[in-house]
Chains A and B, each alone.
Chain A
Amino acid sequence: MAASSRVAASLRRAALSSRPSPCIRNIRPALQVRWKTEATTSASTESVGQLDAKGGLDGPAPAKSIKFTSDSYPNIQRESKFAKLSEKHVQYFQELLGSDSAVLDGVTKDATEDIEPFNADWMRKFRGHAQLVLKPSTKEEVSAILKYCNDNMLAVVPQGGNTGLVGGSVPVFDEIVLNLQKMNNIRSFDEVSGILVADAGVILEVADNYLAERQHIFPLDLGAKGSCQIGGNVSTNAGGLRLLRYGSLHGSVLGIEAVLPDGTIVEDLSLLRKNNTGYDIKQLFIGSEGTIGIITGISIQCPRRSPAVNVAYFGLESYEQAQKAFVAAKAYLGEILSAFEMMDGRTQKILKKVAGTKLPLEGDYPFYCLVETSGSNTDHDSEKLQNFLEHVMESEIVADGVLAESQTQVAELWACRERITECLGHWGGVYKYDLSIPIAQMYDLVEDIRERLTKDGLLGDTDDHPVVDVVGYGHMGDANLHLNVPVRRFDKTVEKALEPYLYEWTSKRNGSISAEHGLGLSKKPYVGYSKSETMIKLIKQIKNLYDPNGILNPYKYI
């Protein structure tokens, strides 16, 4: 449930471009950045958080037009074991949390408008019927809420920045939304060890900016960083752009603080890299998507920020060449390689068309790659990069390319990768798949699906075809493909043409049907394609052990 659109960045761009100087539009926008940075940064991070809370990420359209999840998934029934919310329950929570702003009460009064953003996801695909939103400020409050819910059989959905892509963070029926946005303090940072301890509700970008001031970096970066919360990142085991370099959260998270459904507070905010004493329980919470407990704080190992960052962007004639470029990047750039992203030509064309930006390269190529290096010494890095570039140019692996000559160009080149998600949504909707596939076959799937949809007459340039295009991009370095199908409207026939076909395709090649987005609601039925019966049984045992009443994030995950 990781990478969504480059929400923060695009909002910041919007904020910049909406300044009242119409004729400055053609100028490279970043020229203004230097003089505007102080004025906009703090304001924009805040407004991003709030925009997110209003669910307004996809523009001004009201959340009401989103279909209820219970209507689009009629086979999911509300479990009768859960109690219905009453005035008595609301009163308990109001007394517990005190302030009005911590309880959005839609039970005793009409608060539809206020609650709607917590009910719907940013992709406008899922929408629940929650009537109560709770925003605790301390782990003790979380504990008291969960204990009460467990005792009274009230279902709960834990929610962070609500930027997930599989419907895991919004309710299906009348579950209580427990949002962690008020738990947003950074607790400590050790400059020697680089260990950060922070509340779960801290926004990723805020944490990263805090670390940047101290020459460190959060070992996770993803498109939704301006809205998503680090607790949510950990509980969904988000992947993102820095995984190639810094590894998965299973390695960098040192400890967690979580609350179990019965109210037990699990205090395991370890500051140790090594601790071989018993089962590593925290690993169960990483990627559990809020099904066995609610993470309220994390301690995480943060690497030193690299002062020298270089970005190159290539055009390539085939997917074969992209693979060769990746091999060469590993050989020539070794320890400084920090990202290797692949985008197909179609994504770049869509970017150009929708965002109206000029692409860095003159010609059109079927594939593009973005390579980033991060290191400690500019001169050393430049030399390595020069050798690499000479090699890929001379051996004709890449057809054309550019190298960022300034910080602004670095950002512009990254935008070619990061703004794809946002631009794909232009026609109305996107079917998004996030798959791990052996790298050699990764792009075959995109071509296969495109052919399939064309044959079925679903793909076309005119309005009577639901499908606009089939595109692929992703973290090539991690063999992680984002297969996206931008559509003019969500259509059951399209869905049937895609699923379970592409899951079967992936499964046949021993891939994963969800590399980093998680299971949530939308991938739950297909988990069998990636996990054996025995594994599913073990997962269910853990769930039943920690959450015997099943009150946490029901109807999802497994």
Chain B
Amino acid sequence: MSGLRILVPIKRVIDYAVKPRVNRAQTAVETANVKHSMNPFDELSIEEAIRLRERKVPIQEIVAFSAGPAKSQDILRTAMAMGADRSIHVVVEEKDPQLEPLGVAKLLKKVVEEQKSDLVILGKQSIDDDASQTGQMLAGLLGWPQATQASKVDISDKTVTVIKEVDGGVETIKANLPMIITTDLRLNEPRYASLPNIMKAKKKPLEKKTLKDYGLDEQPRLKTLKVTEPPPRKGGVKVDDVDGMISKLKELGAL
């Protein structure tokens, strides 16, 4: 075996420390002038691919992939600064029809075939849409085995052992390559991109493509009717003294 060809699809999302706001027209979440970064689950995927290589699993290449607006290049550069070898960017501008999980899965299938990947590591979900479907659909389209919500990955020869998170515990499964893995929070702790590596990443190849290059013309199947914020949490009440607290508790029927 000449070594694994790993594909890591990543997504640019609103930074998870930023509170998302719904736009005035209630059609979508406001994205202009909002800090964006790599989907945190995808950071875990990149990190795991790099760690596999560091653990001397024979790896020929780690390719980062993203479909999204021009700015998605920033996260691809970050992925390469962390340790991915090269990346592919399919440009989907914000004004274009947006991809749904099935569309992404179809696109990824083409990429996997083109790149001859034999392991795809994806985040179990993106924190903007929270669909948690792409990995599974991709496995279905390719007819590959899948291990979702991975918290530990071991590869020896052609066999992959994955410990995955399930309700109330963990499940250990074994499958042969090629396969799909989706990552969960406990898998690893992603590294910082160091400055020397950020500099080096600038010189790594980044290929720009379009959906047409892959022969796809995906139209959304879903229509978003309305986006609303959750109802605001009711604030607490301050009381002046113990008597005030007791009478308040009585008023609320807690005493």
Residue pair A33, B16 in contact (C-beta under 8 Å): yes
Task: State which residues 181-196 of B face A: CB under 8 Å.
Answer: 185-186, 189-190, 192-196
Interface string of B21-40 (1 = CB under 8 A from A): 00000000000010101101
For the complex, count residues of B whose C-beta is within 8 A of A.
29
Contact of A405 among B38, B127, B199 (CB under 8 A): B38
Known contacts: A27-B185, A405-B38. The answer to whether A42 contacts B236 by CB under 8 A is yes
Residue pair B199, A393 in contact (C-beta under 8 Å): yes
Residue pair A28, B19 in contact (C-beta under 8 Å): no
Minimum distance in angstroms from A391 CB to a CB of chain B: 11
Minimum distance in angstroms from B184 CB to a CB of chain A: 10
A321 interface residue, CB < 8 Å from B? no
Residue pair A402, B193 in contact (C-beta under 8 Å): yes
Known contacts: A24-B185, A27-B186, A42-B236. The answer to whether A398 contacts B17 by CB under 8 A is no
B99 interface residue, CB < 8 Å from A? no
Minimum distance in angstroms from B112 CB to a CB of chain A: 27
Chain A interface, >50% SS class: helix
Residue of B nearest to A406 (CB): B37
Residue pair A39, B17 in contact (C-beta under 8 Å): no
Minimum distance in angstroms from A65 CB to a CB of chain B: 27
Residues of B within 8 A of A362 (CB): 194
Residue of A nearest to B19 (CB): A37
A99 to B40, CA, bound (A): 51
Minimum distance in angstroms from A158 CB to a CB of chain B: 22
Known contacts: A100-B241, A389-B198, A400-B195. The answer to whether A34 contacts B235 by CB under 8 A is no
Known contacts: A101-B241, A307-B33, A406-B38. The answer to whether A34 contacts B194 by CB under 8 A is no
Residues of A within 8 A of B190 (CB): 28
Contact of B186 among A26, A39, A358, A407 (CB under 8 A): A26
A14 interface residue, CB < 8 Å from B? no
Residue pair B15, A407 in contact (C-beta under 8 Å): yes
Interface string of A3-46 (1 = CB under 8 A from B): 00000000000000000000110111011011001110011001
Contact of B193 among A27, A393, A398, A405 (CB under 8 A): A405
Task: State which residues 209-242 of B face A: CB under 8 Å.
Answer: 233, 235-236, 238, 240-241
A28 to B41, CA, bound (A): 12
B1 interface residue, CB < 8 Å from A? no
Known contacts: A33-B17, A390-B199. The answer to whether A403 contacts B193 by CB under 8 A is yes
A323 interface residue, CB < 8 Å from B? no
A400 to B16, CA, bound (A): 27
A99 to B15, CA, bound (A): 47
Residue pair B127, A401 in contact (C-beta under 8 Å): no
Residues of A within 8 A of B126 (CB): none
A409 interface residue, CB < 8 Å from B? yes
Contact of B37 among A31, A38, A307, A407 (CB under 8 A): A407
Residue pair B233, A408 in contact (C-beta under 8 Å): no
A421 to B16, CA, bound (A): 28
Contact of B196 among A28, A30, A400, A405 (CB under 8 A): A400
Residues of A within 8 A of B241 (CB): 99-101
A444 to B236, CA, bound (A): 51
Interface string of A358-393 (1 = CB under 8 A from B): 101110000000000000001000000000011001
Minimum distance in angstroms from B4 CB to a CB of chain A: 25
B18 interface residue, CB < 8 Å from A? yes
A27 to B236, CA, bound (A): 30
A111 interface residue, CB < 8 Å from B? no
Interface string of A91-114 (1 = CB under 8 A from B): 000000001110000000000000
A30 to B43, CA, bound (A): 14
Residue of B nearest to A313 (CB): B192
Residue pair A42, B195 in contact (C-beta under 8 Å): no
Residue pair B194, A23 in contact (C-beta under 8 Å): no
B78 interface residue, CB < 8 Å from A? yes
A327 to B233, CA, bound (A): 47
A273 to B189, CA, bound (A): 49
Residue pair B186, A24 in contact (C-beta under 8 Å): yes
Residues of A within 8 A of B185 (CB): 24, 27, 31
A27 to B43, CA, bound (A): 12
Residue of B nearest to A361 (CB): B194
Residue pair A401, B195 in contact (C-beta under 8 Å): yes
Residues of A within 8 A of B192 (CB): 360-361, 402-403, 405, 409
A398 to B196, CA, bound (A): 10
Known contacts: A406-B17, A408-B17. The answer to whether A400 contacts B194 by CB under 8 A is yes
A33 to B38, CA, bound (A): 16
Minimum distance in angstroms from A30 CB to a CB of chain B: 6
Known contacts: A43-B236, A407-B37. The answer to whether A31 contacts B193 by CB under 8 A is no
The chain B residues found within 8 Å of chain A, CB to CB, are: 15-19, 33, 35, 37-38, 40, 78, 127, 185-186, 189-190, 192-196, 198-199, 233, 235-236, 238, 240-241
Leading 8 A-B pairs by shortest Cβ distance: A407-B17, A406-B37, A402-B192, A401-B195, A34-B16, A101-B241, A407-B15, A101-B240
The chain A residues found within 8 Å of chain B, CB to CB, are: 23-24, 26-28, 30-31, 33-34, 37-39, 42-43, 46, 99-101, 307, 312, 314, 358, 360-362, 378, 389-390, 393, 398, 400-403, 405-411
Known contacts A26-B189, A31-B185, A403-B193; 8 additional CB pairs below 8 A are A24-B185, A24-B186, A26-B186, A28-B190, A33-B17, A398-B195, A407-B37, A408-B17
Listed A/B pairs (20) with beta-carbon separation below 8 Å: A23-B186, A26-B189, A34-B16, A39-B233, A43-B236, A307-B33, A361-B194, A400-B195, A401-B195, A402-B193, A402-B194, A402-B195, A403-B193, A403-B198, A405-B38, A406-B15, A406-B40, A407-B35, A407-B37, A408-B17
